[in-house]
Amino acid sequence: MLLNYHHLRLFHAVAHAGSLTRASENLNLSQSSLSVQVQKLEQQLGHALFERLGKRMNLTEAGRIALDYADTVFSTGDELVSVLKGRPQIAQSILRVGALTTLSRNFQLEFLRPLIGRPEVELVVRSGTMRELLAQLEAHAIDVVLSTMAVRRDAGSLLHSHLLDEQPVSLVGRPRADYADFRFPTDLNTVPVVVPSLDSDVRTAFDRVLSLAGVHPLISAEVDDMAMLRLLARESGGLTLVPPIVVQDELQTGVLVEVCRIAEVTERFYAIMQTRRFPNPLLAELMQSRSPVPGAP
């Protein structure tokens, strides 16, 4: 079967335009003619490439794969011209990653490190709420969502969560001599502490530990953003409840010290993916590069 590259070019235009109307205006073709050509490509490939929702043309999983290949095909043509003109380019594969706005940047960096700096790889990282990112994942606009929360499995869902890591949570603070005698949890009755917001599983577990001990902590701030938590840990005169990976640079340089590691509280990091017939090989590479987490499914 020989691929019709004219049909592929028209599909490429519609996919990037997002609608037949806009694409037909850009190409100076009628919508009906353009629709017929795209349908012929779908018949040739044996897969629907679009979900037609009113005037919108949303890519299916097969459509997203086809668009990635189409981008490569037509960028290769541009590369050919550049090479012959003495300006060589490198073809790239793309991995699209969604990350919760509250997720540690250091953890994101560690997860993506195997792909960073590789000239043949383009990384697209988007931040958002869980609802926004899962909607993008289901629409095949991103390949994976990085989160500290797992998705609920049910029979009708194609989404599943992979536990990437489970890390300890500590109380950290600026170096002070009296921290050598710090007693957890009783000293939290008088030492101010910065904590994650009530939406956090870490906060829930922390509150449970203190409640069982009869301790009422002196909370100086509650934040739901790890970047802000890191800044407050550096600026606050008290302690901050945080996974050490969030402040690893400060711990290494001595700006902060780990005062107490809380064994009963951990932070979990998940990769949320959708079951696909055509998984992104870059994502598979990242998942294979990680060591199995003890007790993970």
Q: What is the pLDDT of residues 264-284, one digit of tens each?
A: 999 999 999 988 777 888 999
| Model pLDDT for residues 169-208, shown as the tens digit of each residue | 999 999 998 888 999 999 999 999 999 988 888 999 999 9
Mean per-residue pLDDT for 20-35?
A: 88
| Structural domains of the chain sorted by starting position, each given as residue range(s) with its CATH number in brackets | 5-84 (1.10.10.10), 93-165+270-289 (3.40.190.10), 167-266 (3.40.190.10)
| Model pLDDT for residues 205-264, shown as the tens digit of each residue | 999 999 999 999 999 999 988 889 999 999 988 999 999 999 999 999 999 999 999 989
The confidence score (pLDDT) of residue 212 equals 94
Mean per-residue pLDDT for 75-94?
A: 64
The confidence score (pLDDT) of residue 1 equals 65
Mean per-residue pLDDT for 66-72?
A: 84
Q: How far apart are CA 274 and CA 134, in angstroms?
A: 9
Token duo for residue 53: 């929702």
How confident is residue 292, by pLDDT bands cut at 50, 70 and 90? low
**Burial profile 224-244: b = 16 or more Cβ within 10 angstroms, e = fewer:** eebeebbebbeebebbbbbbb
Residue 122 is inside which H or E element, if any? Answer: strand 121-128
How confident is residue 78, by pLDDT bands cut at 50, 70 and 90? low
The confidence score (pLDDT) of residue 297 equals 45
What single letter denotes the amino acid at residue 228? Answer: M
Q: How far apart are CA 69 and CA 17, in angstroms?
A: 17
Cis peptide before 292 (omega within 30 of 0): no
**Residue 92 burial (10 A CB sphere; 0-12, 13-18, 19+):** middle
**Between 55 and 244, where is the model more confident?**
244
The confidence score (pLDDT) of residue 296 equals 47
The confidence score (pLDDT) of residue 152 equals 81
- Asked if residue 21 lies in contact with residue 79, where contact means CB atoms within 8 angstroms, the answer is no
